Structure 1
Amino acid sequence: MIELAIYDMDRTITRAGTYTPWLIFWAWHRAPWRLLLLPVAALAGLAYALKLVSRKRLKEINQTLLMGHAVDPARIAPMAEAYAKRVMDGGVYPEALAQVAADKAAGRRVILATASYAFYVEALARRFGISKVIATKSLRDARGRIIARIDTDNCYADGKLQMVKDYLADAGLDRSKVRISFYSDHFSDKPVFDWSDEPIAVNASAPLRAHARKEGWQIVDWH
């Protein structure tokens, strides 16, 4: 039996969300004038709350506003490293890193599965000690630049579950011969929780905590 330990990232390993802070970090260092567009981003957030735009489209809009339509990945790489260093400086639960290390020591394959963008998440994953990342991917233009459009689907809710299933298929892993532990803080990950063999609610939001108690799932709080 092959054992996998799959971790969500934002508010599971990290103490807070990383996507909006990443956009602000990028704008501050690369194009400070874009910070003037934050009120427009807030309006986009309101449109999402009113269900006028999808979560996927909201992310694309905010990336366009604060990073621009297209960015050379060579410009992103050093910024992702700098941002990862900043997040690691007090922005990560030590207990999460200890659990990742324990899962690896036990011979489990550790995977990071997050709705955040792969172009900056991979720098964080390396610092977590995780080599495999399943994350939201971006389309590229003819010049190889990362554009503010999501490739296929946002790695969120049912989309995350499908991407994890795709990983198993690509790796040639038979689900019946794999035991999966899944760590996350949010109820949006219910599809993956339900599919896993060992659902573990970490730093759980109120809806997830209530559901986890009802289902008898393990509940863990990292501080």
Structure 2
Amino acid sequence: MRSQHLAIYDMDKTITRTPTWTPFLAFAMRRRARWRLALLPWAAIAGLAYVAKVIDRAKLKQTTQKWLLGGSIAADHVATLTNAFADHVVATGVLDQARARIAADKAAGYRLVMATASYAFYARAIAERLGFDDVIATESEHDPAGALTPHIAGENVYGPAKLRAVETWMAKAGLARADCRIRFYSDHVSDAPVLEWSDEPFAVNAHGPLKALARAKGWPILDWRK
């Protein structure tokens, strides 16, 4: 079987200048219900609970979505919000060198895959605009009417869960690991499982712990912020 070439990218702070979840919440609140901005201190409390390890990242994301965006959002409203947000991110928040690398991988025949812990409902819109072929992200539950709820469907695609999600996606896509050449780009040490598993791991815009790990492993260190 012909080898498949995959270029898998993390999104937040790898492709984008900043994380995207808090900016999405602020963007959506300004368009959906400005009065919810008054609840930001409660979201900060949830953040402190996460730092104190009282709650995990999945609970933090679900809690902040419920408090700041409400219990559910109609599907058509979600589409309007996510399309507008994706337009904003792609216009102002994507690193130029990330764009160049994505284009180079595509030109070299790589299948472009975004693998992010961010929510799929807006990550897909961003990925589509950047020319990605596939998206692996944290999925959300929907109510019987199709409205978006704050509840995560399955796992929060973070840390070891990201590798499991990538492997699940590959199995569904009919891609055997032995038949694939995989490069993976990430800024954060939480992605160490996928970096270790890939054939070509790249530490991009790396924070201290990932930079130290990359040096110890001999992985290339790239800085797309310059």
TM bin (shorter chain): over 0.9
Give 1:131 deviation, angstroms. 2.6
- Runs of 4+ in structure 1 deviating by more than 3 angstroms, as ranges, are none
Aligned to 2:161: 159
Instruction: Describe the SS at the equivalent of 1:92.
Output: coil
Aligned to 1:83: 85
Aligned to 1:45: 47
Distance 1:90 1:57 in 2: 29
Q: In the alignment, which of 96, 116, 119 is matched to residue 118 of structure 2?
A: 116
Aligned to 1:59: 61
Aligned residues: 223
Instruction: Describe the SS at the equivalent of 1:137.
Output: strand
Aligned to 1:189: 191
Distance 1:206 1:4 in 2: 27
Give the residue type in structure 1 aligned to 2:51. Answer: A
Structure 1 gap segments, 5+ residues each: none
Question: What's the TM-score, normalizing by structure 1?
Answer: 0.98
Query: What percentage of residue pairs aligned between the two structures are identical?
Result: 51
Distance 1:110 1:88 in 2: 17
Give the residue type in structure 1 aligned to 2:93. Answer: G
Does the CA-based 8 Å contact 2:78-2:148 persist in structure 1? no
Q: In the alignment, which of 198, 201, 220 is matched to residue 200 of structure 2?
A: 198
1:208 aligns with 2:210: yes
Superposed CA offset, 1:129-165 (max 9, x none) = 1131101000111111110000010011111110000
Question: What's the TM-score, normalizing by structure 2?
Answer: 0.97
Instruction: Describe the SS at the equivalent of 2:182.
Output: strand
1:140 aligns with 2:123: no
Does the CA-based 8 Å contact 2:111-2:133 persist in structure 1? no
Instruction: Describe the SS at the equivalent of 1:200.
Output: strand
Give 1:90 deviation, angstroms. 2.6
Q: In the alignment, which of 113, 129, 133 is matched to residue 131 of structure 1?
A: 133
1:7 aligns with 2:9: yes
Distance 1:40 1:104 in 2: 43
Aligned to 2:106: 104
Structure 2 gap segments, 5+ residues each: none
Superposed CA offset, 1:98-121 (max 9, x none) = 111111111111100001111111
Distance 2:171 2:197 in 1: 15
Distance 1:98 1:49 in 2: 35
* CA root-mean-square deviation: 0.8
Aligned to 2:152: 150
Give 1:89 deviation, angstroms. 2.5
Distance 1:130 1:16 in 2: 19
Give the residue type in structure 2 aligned to 1:136. Answer: T
Give the residue type in structure 2 aligned to 1:32. Answer: R
Give the residue type in structure 2 aligned to 1:28. Answer: R
